Copies of this chain bind each other. A is one copy, B any other.
Amino acid sequence: MKTLDKGVCAPKGFHAAAVAAGIKKPDATRLDCAMIASDAPAAVAGVFTTNLVQAAPVRYCREACERGVARAIVANSGNANACTGDQGYADVLATAALAGRLIDAPPEQVCVCSTGVIGVPMPMDRLLRGVEQCAAKLSDQNGGDAARAIMTTDTVPKEIAAEIPLGAGAVRIGAIAKGAGMIAPNMATMLCFITTDVAVDADNLQSLLQKAVAISFNCICVDNDMSTNDTALCLANGRSGVSLLPGTVDFERFGDALNEICLSLAQALVRDGEGATKFIAIIVSGAATDADAKRIAASVAKSQLCKTAFYGQDANWGRIAAAAGYSGARFDPAGLDLHIQGVHVLAQGQPTAYSEADVQALMKAPEIEVRISLREGAGAATFWTSDLSLDYIKINADYRT
C-alpha cells in the first residue's frame, strides 16, 4: 500500500472543491462548504449514527445509500441541521436539487452531510451560494480544501490516500474525516468521506465499510456523547477498471486496506480530540469473548476518572480496575493483570512492587499504553481514547458563545 497525495481526489475520476460560505461565521473567512464529485455514477455505502435523534441529512443519506448509487457529496460545517424539523429536511432536498442540477446528476444521487451546532435553521441562501461556487471550481487539486471545510473544533485536517496493488491492477482509496468532540463509540461524532476507483457493487461495499467502521471509528472515544450527525460514506466509481468480487484475494486485500485507512483516520480523530494532550490505547486480552473484551476496553476508554488521571499523568490503576469491574463483562477479579506503559502494576488482582516513580516518568509520554489481561478466554479488543483536560472543559463550556 503506497501513500498518495490529494486525499479524496487521489482515486481516478473524483474532484473536489471547498469555499467559505459564511455558515460558520457570516464574515466568511473559514472554509465551511465542500463538494466531492465523481465523474461517473458510483456505488455508495454508508454507516450512520444510531442516535434516535437524527439530523435531517442523516435521514436523507440513509435513503441514498439504500438506492446504492451516488455521484456527489455536499457537506457543510458550522450547522448540523439537526432538530430542525420539516424545514431541515426540505433544506437537504433543496441542497441536493441544486447540486444535482449543477453537476448534471439526478438529485437523489447527491449525498448531503452537515456538522456543527444543533437546532439552528440552516442559512440556506449562504449554503446554496457555497454549493454553486464549489460546483464551479471542482478539481482534483482540492482534496485538502475539502478536508479543511468539514472541520469544526478540529485543529488539523485529516486526510489520507493510498494505492493498493491488487492482482487485477492498482486501485486507489482516498479519505477525509472530521471529529474532535462528541466522539463516542457507535459511532464517533464525525464525518468521514471515502472515495475509491475500484468497481464493486453497493452491497459488497456496504459490508466492507461496516467491517472497517467496526474496528476503527467504533473503537474510539473522546467524550462518550453520540452525535446526531455521524456519517461515514464510501463512493466507489469503478474508474480503475478493476473489479472486486467477494471471496477473492483481491477482495480481502482491498478490505484490509480500507480497514487500515479507517483506523488511521480514527486514530487521527482521537489525537486531535478536544483538549487532548495524550493518545491512549486500551488493549484487552484474555476475556471470555471479543464482545466482553470490547466492553472492558470501552469502559476504561470512556471513564471520566481514568481520562482525568491520564491527563494528570497519574498511573492510577485503581480507576482502571474499577472501570473494568463495572463494564458489564463477567470476569474473575482475581485473574486481573494490568500493565501501564509496559510496567506490570497489578498481578492477579493484587498490586505488584513496581516503582511509582518509574511509572510516573513513563506517563509523561504523549502516547500511553494500558494492557488489561484476564484469564477467561481468548477474547481481545483495543480501544483508543484521549485524556480529559482543562482545555476540553474550556472548549465545551463555551462552544456556542
Contacts and interface: CB of A to CB of B under 8 A. Distances in A.
Given A226-B326, A228-B322, A390-B393, 6 more contacts: A52-B331, A53-B326, A118-B319, A182-B305, A227-B322, A314-B399
Interface stretch (A92-100, A257-265, A345-353): A345-353
B304 A397 contact: no
Counted per complex, copies of this chain come to 2
Nearest to A85: B350
A247 to B, nearest CB: 36
Contacts of A389: 393
A395 to B, nearest CB: 8
Contacts of A227: 322
Contacts of A398: 312, 314
Interface stretch (A76-84, A196-204, A206-214, A248-256): A76-84
A396 interface: yes
Contacts of A399: 309, 312, 314, 316
A324 interface: yes
Contacts of A83: 318, 321, 346, 349-351
Interface string A209-237: 00000000000000111111000000000
Contacts of A349: 53, 83, 85
Contacts of A401: 312, 314
A305 B306 CA distance: 17
B350 A309 contact: no
A393 to B, nearest CB: 5
A262 to B, nearest CB: 21
A63 B228 CA distance: 46
Nearest to A87: B350
17 contacts: A52-B330, A53-B324, A53-B325, A82-B318, A85-B349, A85-B350, A118-B322, A119-B318, A119-B351, A225-B304, A308-B393, A308-B396, A311-B397, A312-B396, A312-B399, A314-B401, A316-B400
A184 interface: yes
Interface residues of A, number: 63
Interface in A336-392: 336, 346, 349-351, 388-390, 392
A155 interface: no
Nearest to A334: B85
B305 A396 contact: yes
Nearest to A186: B326
Interface in A11-60: 50-54
B225 A303 contact: yes
Nearest to A333: B53
Contacts of A396: 304-305, 308-309, 312
Contacts of A304: 223-225, 304, 388, 396
A376 to B, nearest CB: 12
Contacts of A85: 349-350
A323 interface: yes
Given A52-B331, A318-B80, A184 B393 contact: no
Most B CB contacts (10 A, CB to CB) among A84, A330, A351 go to: A351
A146 B314 CA distance: 31
A288 interface: no
